[in-house]
């Protein structure tokens, strides 16, 4: 087998190394595939389904699907865009996402994806309005699982980067949520310097560091400066001359 895998995303030829996923290859090629549960540095999980693409006509999650020679990947098509919009909407409506008063506003990946996909107002789905108690027991970290999107990034970061088990999935179906390894967060061995609670792991405002609220002024927040996906698409512009 050759060391370079060549395949196409929306007609554009892309190369990948053996073992890379469609997502890895797309990122390197400067093609942005929207995602929420996948983040650099953690094993992909394939749970949010925002990165759904069609591979040779069948749907797959780009973050877990290995690249294979000659595959034809559909990413930015009307059908896929609609599906992604529906999934992002589902996440908005599953939890309580009140952007104007959320501390994560401006660096929230869910919010940023909403903008990118053109979701600018509440819509057709019903609100499930969970009323789970906020866990503010820990001196440095606060947990509001009403904003959790079940991406499991904190769980994986705690397990694989911190070598702890602070977080874990509990429950099933719509009751599935993130639990902590104690009666509350204060009883766990979590530390404010853990990867699991570092900014950028929780994509929404579920894990919040205390005493740091609203530190970036509007206009200078993460996604105000670089809307989501543009960092990856910049690769394409940088490589523009070569292509």
Of 24, 52, 75, 96, the residue at the interface with other proteins (CB under 8 A) is 52
Of 70 and 241, which CB lies nearer to other proteins in the complex structure? 70
- Is-contact 38 44, C-beta < 8 A? yes
Among the listed residues 28, 49, 103, 130, the single contact to other proteins using CB under 8 A: 49
From 8, 41, 79, 225, residue interacting with other proteins (rule: CB under 8 A) = 79
Under the binding rule (CB under 8 A), the answer on residue 150 touching other proteins is: yes
Residue 20 binds other proteins, judged by CB under 8 A: no
- 21 CB burial (10 A radius; 0-12, 13-18, 19+): buried
Tell me whether residue 30 or residue 162 sits nearer to other proteins (CB atom).
Answer: 162
Tokens 């690249």 sit at which residue? 67
**Candidates 6-14, 26-34, 44-52, 97-105; binding stretch for other proteins (CB under 8 A):** 44-52
Residue 168: what are its φ and ψ, rounded to 5°? Answer: -165, 155
What is each CA distance from 100 to 106, 114, 219, 236, in whole angstroms?
10, 14, 14, 33
| Exposure on the CB side of residue 185, measured as CA atoms within 13 A | 23
229 binds other proteins (CB under 8 A): no
Q: Are strands 72-74 and 5-9 parallel, antiparallel or unpaired?
A: parallel
Q: Of residues 90, 136, 161, 232, which one binds other proteins by CB under 8 A? A: 90
Helix or strand (DSSP H, E) at 169: strand 167-170
Pick 138 or 150: Cβ nearer other proteins: 150
Residues at the interface with other proteins (CB under 8 A): 44-50, 52, 59, 61, 64-66, 79, 82-83, 86-87, 90-91, 93-94, 124-126, 128, 149-150, 165-176, 179-183
């Amino acid at each position: 087998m050759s060391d370079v895998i060549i395949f196409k995303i929306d007609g554009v030829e892309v190369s990948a190394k053996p073992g890379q996923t469609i997502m890895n290859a797309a990122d390197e090629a400067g093609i942005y595939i929207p995602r929420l549960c996948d983040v650099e540095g953690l094993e992909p999980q394939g749970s949010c389904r925002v990165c759904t693409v069609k591979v040779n006509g069948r749907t797959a999650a780009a973050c877990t699907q290995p690249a294979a020679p000659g595959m034809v990947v559909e990413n930015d098509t009307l059908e896929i865009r609609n599906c992604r919009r529906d999934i992002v909407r589902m996440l908005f409506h599953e939890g309580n996402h009140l952007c104007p008063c959320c501390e994560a506003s401006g660096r929230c990946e869910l919010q940023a994806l909403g903008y990118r996909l053109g979701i600018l107002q509440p819509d057709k789905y019903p609100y499930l309005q969970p009323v789970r108690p906020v866990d503010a027991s820990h001196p440095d970290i606060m947990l509001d699982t009403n904003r959790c999107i079940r991406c499991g990034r904190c769980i994986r970061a705690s397990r694989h980067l911190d070598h702890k088990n602070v977080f874990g999935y509990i429950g099933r179906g719509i009751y599935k949520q993130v639990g902590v390894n104690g009666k509350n967060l204060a009883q766990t061995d979590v530390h404010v310097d853990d990867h699991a609670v570092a900014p950028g792991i929780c994509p929404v405002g579920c894990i919040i560091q205390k005493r740091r609220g609203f530190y970036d002024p509007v206009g200078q927040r993460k996604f105000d400066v670089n809307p989501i996906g543009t960092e990856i698409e910049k690769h394409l512009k940088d490589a523009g001359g070569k292509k």
